[in-house]
């Protein structure tokens, strides 16, 4: 069972402790929850989906100059079949295409020298950049704020995670699963865990996302209007020394085309991910956010394109 949590209960101040407690239970048991009352405007979400569809409708020749393999900072378009998220199945490819957008920096920003920093690649579509960046900023704020509740659940100061997320390796990923022409079956995105701290996802309502429960059974993640699917990712699991769980999930090829907006909130590139005090003997060696991201991305692509 994937719970539904109302973010407005936390931000109103009326049920902060109760929200943090329910969030903590979800993070320990399934690593997934649905978030309502999130405050991201419906119009902005709709506009971002419309922008994504306009991009994916472009001819392949217009998308090729934006190919992610043209750069080393994880920006741009990934073609259908060019990824494999399930590294246990090297013979398998993901039946989807995607477009990655990162933190927008000026060309002379000194952070450009950091790992996974670089210019975003933009299609020649009126309003696309402005809409995508507005959505990026709104969900980034929400993701950072969610860490306040996470900190409270873990018995930490509410702002504990803020210094690790003030210059994050965040990625907005627009996703398109072409669909099975009225038939379901096959893998749209192979079984995997996410890499960073948390992921916030919204979709167009077409089903397909599944999560593996503790019994090892794949269960459908329900689609609910005006909610985000939030899941714990590897860095937060490592920070909590496995108190929180980063759960395997996958996307089946949908019956009809499926569009989703996935926001991956990875910590600052130099943030050291190591077990929090009081969580017992560390289960993992320390690693920086950038080092871990590179390791996972290199396993996803045949060509090692990251640095």
Write down the H helix ranges in 120-249. 128-153, 234-239
Q: Return the CATH number at 101.
A: 2.60.120.330
**189 near 251, Cβ under 8 Å?**
yes
Provide the number of structural domains found in the chain.
1
For the chain, list the strands marked E by DSSP.
4-6, 32-36, 76-78, 97-102, 169-177, 187-192, 198-203, 209-212, 218-220, 228-232, 249-252, 258-266, 272-273, 287-288
- Domain assignment present for residue 89? The answer is yes
Please name which of 11, 98, 119, 109 lies closest in space to residue 56, comparing C-alpha atoms: 98
Mean pLDDT score, 255-277: 96
pLDDT digits (tens, 9 = 90+) for 57-108: 999 999 999 999 999 899 999 999 887 787 777 778 889 999 999 999 988 8
> By three-state DSSP, how is residue 188 classified?
strand
Computed over every residue of the chain, the mean pLDDT equals 92
- Domain assignment present for residue 307? The answer is no
- Domain assignment present for residue 227? The answer is yes
Write down the H helix ranges in the chain. 8-11, 16-29, 42-56, 60-63, 128-153, 234-239, 289-300
**202, two tokens:** 């919204």
Provide the residue range defining the domain that includes 65. 4-300
- Domain assignment present for residue 305? The answer is no
> What pLDDT sits at residue 89?
79
């Amino acid at each position: 069972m994937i719970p539904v949590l109302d973010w407005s209960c936390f931000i109103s101040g009326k049920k902060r402790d109760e929200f943090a407690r329910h969030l903590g239970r979800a993070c320990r048991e399934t690593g997934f929850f649905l978030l309502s009352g999130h405050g991201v405007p419906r119009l902005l979400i709709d506009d971002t989906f419309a922008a994504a569809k306009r991009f994916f409708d472009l001819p392949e020749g217009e998308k090729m100059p934006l190919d992610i393999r043209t750069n080393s900072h994880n920006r741009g378009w990934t073609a259908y079949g060019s990824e494999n998220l399930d590294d246990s199945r090297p013979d398998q490819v993901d039946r989807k295409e995607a477009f990655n957008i990162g933190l927008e920096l000026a060309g002379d920003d000194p952070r450009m020298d950091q790992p996974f920093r670089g210019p975003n690649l933009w299609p020649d579509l009126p309003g696309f950049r402005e809409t995508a960046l507005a959505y990026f900023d709104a969900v980034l704020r929400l993701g950072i704020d969610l860490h306040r509740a996470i900190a409270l659940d873990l018995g930490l100061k509410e702002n504990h995670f803020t210094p690790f997320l003030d210059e994050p390796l965040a990625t907005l990923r627009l996703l398109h699963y072409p669909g099975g022409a009225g038939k379901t079956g096959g893998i749209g995105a192979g079984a995997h865990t996410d890499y960073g701290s948390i992921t916030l996802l919204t979709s167009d309502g077409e089903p397909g996302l599944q999560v593996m429960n503790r019994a090892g059974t794949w269960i459908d993640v329900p689609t609910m209007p005006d909610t985000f699917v939030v899941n714990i990712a590897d860095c937060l699991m490592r920070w909590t020394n496995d108190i929180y769980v980063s759960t395997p999930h996958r996307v089946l090829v949908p019956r009809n085309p499926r569009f989703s907006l996935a926001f991956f909130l990875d910590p600052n590139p130099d943030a050291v991910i190591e077990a929090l005090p009081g969580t017992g003997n560390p289960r993992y060696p320390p690693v920086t956010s950038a080092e871990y991201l590179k390791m996972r991305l290199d396993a996803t692509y045949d060509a090692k394109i990251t640095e």
